[in-house]
A and B are shown apart, each in its own frame.
Chain A
Amino acid sequence: MATPLLEIIGLTKGFPGVKALDAVDFALQPGEIHALMGENGAGKSTLIKVLTGVFPRDLGESRLEGQLIAPRSPGEAESLGISTVYQEVNLIPHLSVAENICLGRQPTCFGIIRWGAIARRARAALARLDLSLDVSRQLSSYSIAIQQLVAIARALDISAKLLILDEPTSSLDRMEVEELFKKLRKLRDGGLGIIFITHFLDQVYEISDSITVLRNGCRVGCFATKDLPRINLVSHMIGKAVQQVEALEQKRASTASIRSEAPILEARGLGRKGFLQPLDLDVRSGEVVGLAGLLGSGRTETARLLFGVDRPDQGTIRIGYQAVRFNSPRAAIRCGIALTPEDRKVAGIIPNLTVRENIVLALQASRGSWRRLPVAEQEKLADRFIHALDIKTPNREQVIRNLSGGNQQKVLLARWLATEPRLFVLDEPTRGIDVGAKAEVEKLIQSLRQEGLGVLFISSELEEVVRQSQRVVVLRDRRKVDELTEGEISAEAIMHSIATHNLERPAA
């Protein structure tokens, strides 16, 4: 067998308290498009960052064309022949296309830049991708798809052995993706090795030759794409063998419906271009609707559209029987919606404020700036929730950033419970928290259901979704592909839907 273009053996990398990569092996042949897949925390990003020298490795080695390499910075990796194009297209928006391609390596004559040469070089680099642009135009005047191709052109111009693409298609539409794939195929046929990180299942099967799946820092396996059925891929990523699934299902929550006929949420054709394809979604009082799908399938996007963080450009939302339009979270909160966001560090906790202040924040916000909750009431409220949710904190004046992730999450839940919402959207509420806390959160969700709230429960952990939900909406690649009702819900069924379903039956 020919020497692999890239060979990684036993790569290990740990951070305080966490092992991001555990003896991972990886091999890439020249002239191959190799997909790297994995759910949250699988280690894909870390693998790339260690490979390109952003982080130093703990153990293991990498070889490029048989030679041992150990770059200490992305710049060094580039000079060795490995270039990375990130999801955010890390280029300079205000400079021209030509400049972006040559930045840092401009041809000079006694220190003076030769602009003519830059333009020529840029055009040549783009020509490798069959792309012809006005290279003197500002980069930001072009669409993301084109900017990405420029980023790829730059990467190739620097070094043309191995190209790493980190989630390149997240912001592209169908046609742009096809264009990109056409060019990638051409590059591959020319001998380039491409590592393609993505979570879009359909695309993986469309473009890649091989797939490596990571899970929790370990390599699950490397497969030839054409030999791997989709259901197997999904089960590898989630970590559950299809047959074993039944054994892992625990006692399901009481399916005796407490639902009244009152719909709390009725979304029809809700969507936003490039963000989420139009979908229908219902949540009734006393019902838990699970939103299942792989990372990036559109679950958080749905939550954001419902909460007014992003504005939909099509579709309608009805709360109760009233049609509403949210242009900010404040409006959504006023209608009785609560959202615990996926990323609690960025959009959730106010890190330097105390537990008490974090808990009362949303309730206070709904009362406005002038009608302050008396401190005694705030303290009572905080104590009530600290007790009810068993939040482990020395006292209510503890600064929240010192709490563990699980307790921080509980404080966020408390914050929203205090507003007594009608619809509770929980985006990955159990992420990064310990088993005990998880169980408590699940108990909480059930008690909410008993009280007649509607709950939209988003989680990557299938068993959780299965345990909690009366209905499950399945998403894939930013669109709704299936809806499972009582009796149909099982982890296996969800996985099948994710893998293959194409919404043959009408939405419930």
Chain B
Amino acid sequence: MIRVNPKYIPLLATAVVLLAVFGTGSQLYPNFGTPRVLVNLLNDSAFVGVAAVGESFVILSGGIDLSVGSMVAFVGILIAKLLQVGCDPFVAMGIAVSVGTVSGAVMGCLIYFFDLPPFLVTLAGLFCLRGLGFVINPESIGIDHPFYSQVLPQLSILVAPKAVLPFTAMCFLASVIVGTLLASFTRFGRNVYAIGSNENSARLMGLPIGRTKITTYALAGCFSALGGVVATFYMQSGNPASFVGLELDAIASVVIGGTLLTGGVGFVPGTLMGVLILGLIQQIIIFNGTLNSWWTKIVIGALLLVFIVLQKLISHRGERGAIAGR
């Protein structure tokens, strides 16, 4: 009997679910298991995925970020507008990402220095960014720039016959890799885990709580903004009204990916799997044709429930062996 390190159990569960969903899909629909479908999957979930990587860090630290969807929409319209007035695409993207990072940092500061609940602060961010998007432009703006129409399509790689990996998908995968490196190979990442697991102990161990927390939210803002950039690649437009509820998808991906909502446990590759699961479920439903899109929400909700209960059971067993005190 192989003994599994308990911290990997949720991740394994996610992997099992991923394989199960993929297997089901392949069984039901002959064209499901093709590289082309996979590549499309990565493309379609790219912007959610990038944002979800940032969300992972926030949730790992024991917080939550509700402003993700609004940020993606805001960045989209911002870039579209900047391009419209003749800005260079790289400058536009740079501005967008900076804005995202700064707004994340601001939220982090409010949360840390004033002990405000992350839920409410990022909720304010959600409202603020959503409104500001409309201030930039009340309607959607199509993107009509040579970079988007000519350069971008050429940045894709042929990975298999008939399967071209577009740039968006590459961004997604790159984010996951960067996120994993940050989380598992830097002191910052380990501090995030520590704070999420037991903030009081982390403080007593001398870890830099403030710096870490603010950086976490800034990072989430950065990734959300990057998600917005990727979304412009995908949609070729910016729309202030779009991506309502995206944060829920991101959070669901993170939780289904095996990360505890209370923090301290989870892996960024898990989030990748979570995003893929969400995407696959959607694909199955589309392939089916008769099942309707709302089943996606129901299945995701059910999966969430399963993982939440699973996490509760695991943490219960962990608590019995853990620190007792009086």
Query: In the complex the two chains form, is B325's CB within 8 Å of A112's CB?
Result: no
Chain B 290-322 near chain A by CB (<8 Å), digits 1 or 0: 000000000000000000000000000011011
The verdict on B194 contacting chain A, using a C-beta distance below 8 Å, is yes
Q: List residues of chain B with CB within 8 A of the CB of A147.
A: 322-323
CB < 8 Å neighbour of B187 from A89, A106, A144: A106
The verdict on B193 contacting chain A, using a C-beta distance below 8 Å, is yes
Taking CB atoms and an 8 Å cut-off, the chain A residues in 128-155 that contact chain B are 136-138, 140-144, 147
Query: In the complex the two chains form, is B322's CB within 8 Å of A93's CB?
Result: yes
Shortest beta-carbon distance from B279 to chain A in Å: 29
17 additional contacts, CB 8 Å, given A92-B193, A106-B190? A75-B206, A89-B323, A91-B323, A93-B322, A94-B193, A94-B264, A95-B197, A108-B186, A108-B187, A111-B187, A112-B185, A113-B187, A138-B7, A138-B318, A140-B322, A141-B6, A171-B324
Taking CB atoms and an 8 Å cut-off, the chain B residues in 1-50 that contact chain A are 5-7
CB < 8 Å neighbour of A142 from B186, B187, B205, B321: B321
Chain B 154-176 near chain A by CB (<8 Å), digits 1 or 0: 00000000000000000000000
A108 to B322, CA, bound (A): 29
A183 to B30, CA, bound (A): 65
Shortest beta-carbon distance from B8 to chain A in Å: 10
- Interfacial residues, chain A to chain B (CB-CB below 8 A): 73-75, 78, 86-95, 99, 103-104, 106, 108, 111-113, 136-138, 140-144, 147, 170-171, 274
Chain B 174-188 near chain A by CB (<8 Å), digits 1 or 0: 000000010011110
CB < 8 Å neighbour of A113 from B186, B201, B204: B186
Shortest beta-carbon distance from B73 to chain A in Å: 34
Shortest beta-carbon distance from A307 to chain B in Å: 16
Closest chain B residue to A93 by CB distance? B322
Number of A-B contacts (CB under 8 A): 94
Interface centre among A92, A99, A136, A274 (most CB of B within 10 A): A92
Taking CB atoms and an 8 Å cut-off, the chain B residues in 190-208 that contact chain A are 190-191, 193-194, 197-198, 200-202, 204-207
Q: List residues of chain B with CB within 8 A of the CB of A170.
A: 326
Query: In the complex the two chains form, is A92's CB within 8 Å of B197's CB?
Result: yes
Q: List residues of chain A with CB within 8 A of the CB of B193.
A: 92, 94-95
Shortest beta-carbon distance from B163 to chain A in Å: 33
24 contacts between A and B (CB under 8 A): A74-B204, A78-B206, A86-B204, A90-B198, A90-B205, A91-B323, A92-B201, A92-B202, A93-B198, A93-B322, A94-B193, A94-B265, A94-B318, A95-B190, A103-B207, A104-B205, A106-B190, A111-B187, A113-B187, A140-B318, A142-B321, A143-B321, A144-B323, A171-B325
A103 to B200, CA, bound (A): 14
A113 to B181, CA, bound (A): 10
Given contacts A138-B7, A141-B6, contact A91 B205 (CB under 8 A): yes
In the complex, the 10 A-B pairs of residues with the closest C-beta atoms, listed nearest first: A75-B206, A90-B201, A140-B322, A94-B197, A94-B264, A90-B204, A88-B325, A92-B197, A92-B194, A171-B324
Given contacts A78-B206, A140-B322, contact A92 B186 (CB under 8 A): no
Q: List residues of chain A with CB within 8 A of the CB of B319.
A: 140
CB < 8 Å neighbour of A99 from B190, B322, B325: B190
A353 to B90, CA, bound (A): 59
Closest chain A residue to B326 by CB distance? A170
Closest chain A residue to B195 by CB distance? A92
Q: List residues of chain A with CB within 8 A of the CB of B324.
A: 144, 171, 274
Shortest beta-carbon distance from A272 to chain B in Å: 12
A294 to B202, CA, bound (A): 32
- The count of residues in chain B whose C-beta lies closer than 8 Å to any C-beta of chain A is 31
Query: In the complex the two chains form, is B191's CB within 8 Å of A112's CB?
Result: no
CB < 8 Å neighbour of A92 from B184, B185, B264, B326: B264
Closest chain B residue to A112 by CB distance? B185
Interface centre among A89, A93, A99 (most CB of B within 10 A): A93
A73 to B5, CA, bound (A): 35
Shortest beta-carbon distance from A153 to chain B in Å: 13
SS of A interface (majority): loop
Q: List residues of chain B with CB within 8 A of the CB of A88.
A: 201, 323, 325
A33 to B295, CA, bound (A): 66
Q: List residues of chain A with CB within 8 A of the CB of B322.
A: 93, 140, 147
Closest chain A residue to B204 by CB distance? A90
Query: In the complex the two chains form, is B186's CB within 8 Å of A95's CB?
Result: no
Query: In the complex the two chains form, is B200's CB within 8 Å of A112's CB?
Result: no
CB < 8 Å neighbour of B197 from A73, A93, A143: A93
Query: In the complex the two chains form, is A113's CB within 8 Å of B185's CB?
Result: yes
A90 to B190, CA, bound (A): 16
Closest chain B residue to A296 by CB distance? B326
A91 to B323, CA, bound (A): 9
Shortest beta-carbon distance from A471 to chain B in Å: 27
Q: List residues of chain A with CB within 8 A of the CB of B6.
A: 138, 141
Closest chain B residue to A78 by CB distance? B206
Shortest beta-carbon distance from B143 to chain A in Å: 36
Q: List residues of chain B with CB within 8 A of the CB of A103.
A: 190-191, 194, 205, 207
A99 to B192, CA, bound (A): 13
Shortest beta-carbon distance from B207 to chain A in Å: 5
Query: In the complex the two chains form, is B204's CB within 8 Å of A87's CB?
Result: no
Given contacts A87-B325, A88-B325, A137-B5, contact A93 B318 (CB under 8 A): yes
Q: List residues of chain A with CB within 8 A of the CB of B190.
A: 95, 99, 103, 106, 113
CB < 8 Å neighbour of B5 from A113, A136, A144: A136
A147 to B325, CA, bound (A): 12
Shortest beta-carbon distance from B39 to chain A in Å: 31
CB < 8 Å neighbour of B191 from A73, A104, A138: A104
Q: List residues of chain A with CB within 8 A of the CB of B205.
A: 90-92, 103-104
Chain B 238-272 near chain A by CB (<8 Å), digits 1 or 0: 00000000000000000000000000110000000
Q: List residues of chain B with CB within 8 A of the CB of A141.
A: 6, 318, 321
Given contacts A93-B318, A140-B322, contact A104 B187 (CB under 8 A): yes
Query: In the complex the two chains form, is A94's CB within 8 Å of B7's CB?
Result: yes
A141 to B191, CA, bound (A): 20
A87 to B6, CA, bound (A): 25
Closest chain B residue to A75 by CB distance? B206
Chain B 204-215 near chain A by CB (<8 Å), digits 1 or 0: 111100000000
